[in-house]
Amino acid sequence: MIYLDHAAATPVDSRVLQVMEPYFLTDFFNPSAAYLPAKKVAADYTVAKATIAHAIGAKSSDLVITAGATEANNLAFSSLSSDAATQASVLYLETEHDSVRQVAKKHGGQAVKVLKNGLIDLDDLKAKITDDTELVSVSLVNNEIGVIQPLAEIASVIREVKFDRLKRGLKRQLLLHSDASQALNLLDINVARLGVDLMTLNAAKIYGPKGVGALYVSHEAKLQPLTYGGGQENGLRSGTENVPGVIGFAKAVELAKEHLNGNRKKYATWRKVLLSELQGYELINKKHSIDNFIVLCYNGIDAERLVFLLENEGVYVSTGAACAASKGVKSHVLAAIDLSDAEIAGSLRLSLGETNDEDQIHQAARIINDVVAAEKERLKNA
């Protein structure tokens, strides 16, 4: 198997699984219990949270642990005030993941345009911020094309608006949220440097366990819980803590930070190799994208058919976000960067990762070339 869909899911690293195991078998205690073994588990949980928080320049108390990025994204929108009912109260990038787009639309959100290269149109953002705007949501790395958004520049725009409001005596909040699910293992993230008030993290994209995420919450952001109960996570996410998951998340974060520069260089090299050996494609994400993302267009060929043909040859790729691809829905991300329906239909996403090696990269290029050539021949003779 040559797996080239790490943006959809990553396997749990064996070192992550190893540190998680005791918390399933021997240290299984409820952290809220009063006896000593439970208190030790609670302490381990706090240390693990601190490890995750430290990786983004935050403190343990700044994090709310969730059941994944979708819940974290939804929780971020609970920062909206009760009177945030106008269309302009929420702005979101039109290429956002559905877990942002859907909740933003529920709050009457308005989409901010992107340029043809996938970067935010800052002029459109400035034009759409009004005195009613309370929340702007822009992912750090897009989950379909890997484009890295200039969050620090966006934060600068927001600071200017906040300063202008302050001068005019307007007290309405204005927060910046970013879904960084695809970024933690390849970018050096610091919440203060990026200027975000809320940031979503996801263990499942960095060789940690599925079903574990986190939301960074600055002191400016005041959230409302989505669930009520025992008051865990500072009252924002009740329910018995997922101790094994958070222990694994912390280990995955440690490994990601330790190998950050090496992984970037490795993936950048493999990306160049693939692009030099593949034939007959148009590269969609030419600039500003993370090192392990490659989006190719084979115009005139059905990419969904290519996915199945490549699977038969042991190569696993995708046509975009897994949740959208499984429904057969046209990519809103590719449409937003002005690709035609034919170009969207012929686009593949390849995302490199730790299951790969250099030999696989050469093999994958050869197999993809052969499959594409055979499909072109089939179409010519049809």
State how far the Cα of 118 lies from the Cα of 269, in Å rounded to an integer: 23
**Angle formed by the axes of helices 243-258 and 36-54, to 10°?**
30
Least Cα distance to 100 among 79, 82, 73 occurs for 73
* Pairing label, strands 110-112, 135-137: unpaired
Least Cα distance to 286 among 102, 58, 119 occurs for 119
Partner residues linked to 293 by β-bridges: 351
State how far the Cα of 295 lies from the Cα of 148, in Å rounded to an integer: 14
* DSSP H stretches of helix in the chain: 14-20, 22-25, 36-54, 69-76, 98-106, 122-128, 151-167, 191-194, 243-258, 260-277, 303-312, 322-325, 332-336, 341-345, 358-381
State how far the Cα of 136 lies from the Cα of 132, in Å rounded to an integer: 12
State how far the Cα of 85 lies from the Cα of 65, in Å rounded to an integer: 28
State how far the Cα of 226 lies from the Cα of 38, in Å rounded to an integer: 26
Structure tokens of 72? 């974290």
State how far the Cα of 73 lies from the Cα of 355, in Å rounded to an integer: 28
Rg from Cα positions in the chain: 22
B/e letters for 273-307, b = 16+ CB within 10 Å, e = fewer, are: ebeeebeebeebbeebbbbbbbbbbbeebebeebb
- DSSP 3-state helix, strand, coil percentages of the chain (rounded to 5)? 45, 15, 40
State how far the Cα of 321 lies from the Cα of 8, in Å rounded to an integer: 7
> What 3-state DSSP class applies to 265?
helix
**Angle formed by the axes of helices 260-277 and 358-381, to 10°?**
30
Q: Is 323 a catalytic residue?
A: yes
Which is catalytic among the residues 38, 115, 226, 323?
A: 323
Catalytic residues: 323
